[in-house]
Amino acid sequence: MSAVWSVVRAAVRRRRFQTLAIALVVLFSSATAVAALALLAASSEPFDRVFAEQRSAHVTVTFDAALASDADVAATAGLEGVSAAAGPFGQIATVLELPGEHGVQLPVTIAGRDDPGGPVDRVDLREGRWAEAPGEIVLSSAFADQGSSASPFQVGTDLTASDGTGFTVVGFASSFGRTAGAWVTADQMAAMGPTATQMLYRLTEHETDADIDEALAAITAAVPADAFTGAQSYLALKEDVSAELGIFLVLLTVFGILGLAVAVLIVANVVGGAVVSGLRHIGILKALGFTPRQVVLVYLAMVSLPALAGAAIGTVLGHLLATGVMADTFRDAGLGSPTVSPWADAAAFAGMPLLVVLAALAPALRAHRLSAAEAISAGGAPRSGRGLRVQRRLSGTPLPRSVSLGLGLPFARPGRTALTAAAVVLGVTTATFTAGLAAFATEVDAMIQRHEAAEVEVLGGPGGPAAESGTALGDRETEALLAGMEDVSNVTANLRMPVSALGFAKTPTLWFIRGDSSDMGFDEQLVDGRWLGAPGEAVVSSKLVHQNGVEPGDEITLELDGRTATVSVVGVVMGSGTGTVYTDWGILTGLAPDVEGLGQPIVYEVALESGTDPAAFLAAVEDEGLFGQTTRQSDATGIAVVALATAFALMLGAVAALGVFNTVALDARERRRDLAMLKSIGMTPRQVEAMMVTSMAALGVIGGLAGIGLGVLAHRQVMRLAAAASQIDMPDSLLRTWNAPLLVLLALAGLAIAVAGAYLPARRAARLTIAEALRSE
Amino acid sequence: MRPPRARPYVDGMNDATDPPPVLVELDRLRKEYGDTTALDDVSLTIRRGEALAVMGPSGSGKSTMLNMIAGLDRPTSGTVTVDGKEIGGLDETGRSLFRRRTISMIFQFFNLLDDLTVLDNVALAAQLAGARAPQARKRALDLLDELGIADRRDLYPATLSGGERQRAAVARALVNRPALLLADEPTGALDSQAGEQVMDLLIDLNQIGQTLLIVTHDPNLAVRCAGRIVEFADGRIVGERTLERAS
């Protein structure tokens, strides 16, 4: 066995504490790095990734089943420009109802498919199995929180369609192209009598709207006249998904970068410290006749062995963690199930030990240059001009001496202190960012859904679910019925439909609102101007401001079936990421005197008296034969992202605490003799503990304050960036998510990281046996 | 070189016929480290004002005994009583407080804190004992002045000579006016001239009544500074002699 290897083995065995610290830090850092890299990879262009994974349709076309036969529709698969097609699938719109007195109603489009796979739209079966026999149905996972015992829909649940057909839920699936809300077998669909036929196409040319339109023209021409009833382009879907997820993808990317930064910082700190603390040992090796090259080799090998072990275990743990966390997050966000890419594993497994070697190289090369005598003398307690001055000033303060000594310790090793502080700062920045994100997610959800103002919405009108089941009340009757119900303080009706606006490249969605909407939560979303106050006025979503340059004071001319109406823009609201114009019901009746003839559903928003239970009110609504739901819907994407962010914040906090742990352990080791001397002149174990913990607590407080500042700043900037990416303007109130108790709590996070990391090595230092320490030196 | 001097057993406050009270009493002290017996049935008393030198080869148990008296280590059996207090039963904090109030130590390698000036090193012990910073610094400065290194007060230990460092260490040891000063090879790391200065200092301290326990290899140091010499070998006391008292 070579002398180098003997020394390396002995050093690894003798310095068990340091070896363990390096292995642990690299383990945590590797796990963090794998998760961070996997997150970055999965967050990059998720639409394209999932779209490709599921081979989703570039265009989904529906035909009138009475006018086009299956053979007519199937023949379109061979058209020029169609690279793949699936279908024809029978399709029907219905309402599924849970049996029971207050059964839940689910308006849904059902498609008849025998196979979730195929050349186009490979549906992701997430739970249970595919429908194989009549009476079996697979629901879209968007309708149910899987695994949640609170969900009314589970595998095995019995449902009844509007036509009386009974179903048992056998599985949950997700179609990224949103081709249907439920699936049954083709035979079952045939038995129900489909009203439409669905055909899914992938196209060779599909980059632009014009490409899609050209393909649609060819398809329309290939089927009998008027058989074409509608189409959904993937470009519109892509825009929707980007608007929904843009903000969260930016956040996930930020977390990925933060994770990598903390991992790199901590590894550099730990390894650099390990080599510096071994300088005396290096001097002795040189004195024994080791060449400078051998000395460097000893030190690189000494830190690389535990690093390799830590990286191997950390990569495996990180892979498992990232797989689990991402599966939940991305699936809940409708982004499929990304796997941890092998390069993320490889980069962490190879990168972390490489980083360790690089971090060790600088001090090892310094050791290479030092003479044996210099190395031995450099291995003692550190000296620093600034540190000495600080100690001198602190010694004159009225603070307890153990505290003032502790406060001065970080100045003795400014480089190590800076790296440790940076890790604490990043840990607190992450915690602050996460707290801001959680508060933001809650508030933005409340603001968009307006569930504080309008607790319940009831769907009615000619296009509503009740109409499908043939039990519809008229528009005015529904409104009157709701307004007359107990505990109702206000009812507004709105009809939402796309209406052309002159000069607009894209057709906006119009909300025609009837009733007093002044207290229905729209004004909280205002980013400019005011809410509707008089007939003929309009408020636009901020997306339209970005897309069309509309501002308060401008006029918009709307056109529907040859009729036009002009509205004056008086305000801008945040909106939910779509181009929306809010105006009054009078404009609708001007554009379409026969509102019921439009066949559109009408949403009745109901504000309840304070203290009313929305669930009890909904039960009363359903007793009246209406379909209602609470506006307080769970935001699966928001919850998943906040959960992921919390997991990341905890992980980075743990890694930062590990960095502090290592710093105190190294300090205690280097100052072993000083600590023994202090104890010999009467410093109690508690005072030693206080001194060592204080040395990091001050760093924790300062790091905490800096981290809060950075976290708040980063939160604001990232939110603005994310909003800009989604072309949304946010009211300033959304960015003021911070309050004094929260900030105090976050400031304590820095202290908690520091104290948690410092406590164990400080206790160990306090238990140091004086006689042993003084003798061994 | 100054001639060897026998030390007075009592200070001037005591009647010459009345022996000074016992400050340190070791009773059947035994210390084992695994299979090794470092101290074996050691009994010894040190009276107030006495200067006792402990000599013996390396590994004979003299430093172990010093650690027991300082409360730095616990005996396997037997008792150590210092200033009327049995310190074997004290917990870690109790022993720290005992050291702070009753004893001080000086070491072969000084053990000054490199980060602190000479003045702050000396004041530190007083501050740990509860003195406020200005008081502690005044006491420290007075001692440095008495020991002739007041002009070095703002320097850091690394810039001092060996003799100056040991004087600073002595000043630190005296700042809380300890009943017992323990010295572990106090001249072991010094050249002969600096060693002489430290010996004179110890003699002067004993003359004004400071009780001393010196562990040393150096017969010259033992003979010059101590009134009684105890010889250790294999963890036992194998000899004891009292030096002639100077008239």
Q: What is the pLDDT of residue A441?
A: 73
Give the pLDDT confidence of A374-413 residue by residue, as tens digits.
666 554 444 555 567 777 788 778 888 888 888 888 887 7
Q: Is the pLDDT reported for residue B180 higher than 90?
A: yes
Q: Are residues A48 and A65 in the same domain?
A: no
Which pLDDT band holds residue B31 (cuts at 50, 70, 90)?
very high
Radius of gyration of chain A from its Cα atoms, rounded to whole angstroms: 33
What's the complex ipTM? 0.76
Instruction: Give the A window 332-391 contacts with B, CB below 8 Å.
Output: 380-381, 383, 387-388, 391
Q: What is the pLDDT of residue A146?
A: 41
Q: What is the pLDDT of residue B6?
A: 34
> Chain A residue closest to B138 (CA)?
A396
Q: Are residues A187 and A291 in the same domain?
A: no
Q: Are residues A320 and A339 in the same domain?
A: yes
* Four-CA torsion A190, A194, A197, A200, nearest 10 degrees: -70
Q: What is the pLDDT of residue B138?
A: 92
> Chain A residue closest to B124 (CA)?
A401
Residue A363 lies in a domain: yes
Secondary structure of residue A433 in the 3-state scheme? helix
Which pLDDT band holds residue B8 (cuts at 50, 70, 90)?
very low
Alpha helices in A726-769 (DSSP H): 732-735, 740-766
The pLDDT of B193-197, averaged and rounded, is 83
Give the pLDDT confidence of A355-374 residue by residue, as tens digits.
888 878 877 777 777 766 66
Structural domain of residue B92, as residue ranges?
22-113+161-242
Q: Is the pLDDT reported for residue A45 higher than 70?
A: no
The pLDDT of A73-83, averaged and rounded, is 80
Sign of CA dihedral A324, A328, A331, A334: negative
Residue A298 lies in a domain: yes
Residue A392 lies in a domain: no
Q: Are residues A51 and A92 in the same domain?
A: no
Name chain B contacts of A681, Cβ cutoff 8 Å: 99-100, 104-105, 124-125, 128, 172-173
From A375, A390, A406, the end of a domain falls on: A375
CB distance B29 to B43 below 8 Å: yes
Nearest Cα neighbor of B91 from B114, B74, B109 is B74
The pLDDT of A24-50, averaged and rounded, is 75
Structural domain of residue A160, as residue ranges?
59-205
Instruction: Please state, in angstroms and as integers, the Cα–Cα distance from residue B83 to each residue in A770, B21, B26, B63, B163, following that order.
Output: 22, 9, 12, 20, 31
CB distance A707 to A748 below 8 Å: no
CB pairs under 8 A between A and B: 101
Instruction: Give the A window 61-120 contacts with B, CB below 8 Å.
Output: none
Residue B2 lies in a domain: no
Q: Is the pLDDT reported for residue A638 higher than 70?
A: no
Measured from the Cβ of residue A136, the count of other Cβ atoms closer than 10 Å reads 19
Residue A257 lies in a domain: no
Nearest Cα neighbor of A34 from A444, A312, A327, A397 is A312
List the CATH number of the domain containing B82.
Answer: 3.40.50.300
Q: What is the pLDDT of residue B3?
A: 33
Please state, rounded to an integer, the average pLDDT across all residues of chain A.
Answer: 78
Q: Are residues A464 and A571 in the same domain?
A: yes
Cα distance between the two ends of chain A: 30
Residue A283 lies in a domain: yes
Count CA within 13 A, CB hemisphere, residue A313. 12
Give the pLDDT confidence of B104-115 residue by residue, as tens digits.
988 888 888 877
Residue B41 lies in a domain: yes
Distance CA B127, CA B141 (A): 14
The pLDDT of A452-468, averaged and rounded, is 66
- Helix (H), strand (E), coil (C) string for A611-639: CCCHHHHHHHHHHCCCEEEECCCCCHHHH
Residues found in chain B: 247
Q: Are residues A328 and A344 in the same domain?
A: yes
Instruction: Please state, in angstroms and as integers, the Cα–Cα distance from residue A157 to each residue in A84, A110, A522, B135, following that order.
Output: 35, 17, 38, 83
CB distance A269 to A663 below 8 Å: yes
Instruction: Please state, in angstroms and as integers, the Cα–Cα distance from residue A34 to each residue in A199, A337, A631, following that order.
Output: 41, 17, 38
Nearest Cα neighbor of B38 from B238, B240, B236 is B236
Name chain A contacts of B80, Cβ cutoff 8 Å: none
Q: Are residues A100 and A200 in the same domain?
A: yes
Are the Cβ atoms of A681 and B132 closer than 8 angstroms? no
Most confident of A434-443, A487-496, A693-702: A693-702
Residue A328 lies in a domain: yes
Give B102→chain A minimum CA distance, Å: 10
Which pLDDT band holds residue A147 (cuts at 50, 70, 90)?
very low
Q: What is the pLDDT of residue B161?
A: 87
Secondary structure of residue A121 in the 3-state scheme? coil
Give the pLDDT confidence of A47-64 residue by residue, as tens digits.
777 777 778 888 888 888
Name chain B contacts of A406, Cβ cutoff 8 Å: none
Are the Cβ atoms of A397 and B133 closer than 8 angstroms? yes
The pLDDT of A751-766, averaged and rounded, is 88
What total of structural domains would you count in chain A?
3
- Candidates A401, A674, A680; nearest CB to B105: A680
Which pLDDT band holds residue B2 (cuts at 50, 70, 90)?
very low
Name chain A contacts of B134, Cβ cutoff 8 Å: 396
Which pLDDT band holds residue B245 (cuts at 50, 70, 90)?
very low
Which pLDDT band holds residue B5 (cuts at 50, 70, 90)?
very low
CB distance A255 to A39 below 8 Å: yes
Is B68 in CB contact (< 8 Å) with chain A? Answer: no
Q: Are residues A596 and A459 in the same domain?
A: yes
- Candidates A402, A673, A687; nearest CB to B111: A673
Residue B77 lies in a domain: yes
Give the pLDDT confidence of B111-165 residue by residue, as tens digits.
888 778 899 889 888 888 888 888 989 999 998 998 889 999 988 888 888 889 8
Residue B221 lies in a domain: yes
> Which range is least confidently modeled, A473-482, A707-716, A759-768, B34-43?
A473-482
Q: Is the pLDDT reported for residue B86 higher than 50?
A: yes
What total of structural domains would you count in chain B?
1
Is A682 in CB contact (< 8 Å) with chain B? Answer: yes
Write out the two tokens for A405.
Answer: 């000594």
> Which range is least confidently modeled, A155-169, A562-576, B8-22, B35-49?
B8-22
Q: Are residues A613 and A591 in the same domain?
A: yes
From A168, A187, A205, the end of a domain falls on: A205
From A375, A408, A436, the end of a domain falls on: A375
Is B105 in CB contact (< 8 Å) with chain A? Answer: yes
Residue B45 lies in a domain: yes
The DSSP annotation for A520-583 comes to: SS-GGGEEEE----STTEEEEEHHHHHHH---TT-EEEEEETTEEEEEEEEEEE--SSS-EEEE
Most confident of A78-82, A540-544, A558-562: A540-544
Q: Are residues A180 and A66 in the same domain?
A: yes
Q: Are residues A529 and A622 in the same domain?
A: yes
Q: Are residues A89 and A30 in the same domain?
A: no
Residue A438 lies in a domain: no
Are the Cβ atoms of B111 and A775 closer than 8 angstroms? no
Residue A99 lies in a domain: yes
The pLDDT of A258-278, averaged and rounded, is 72
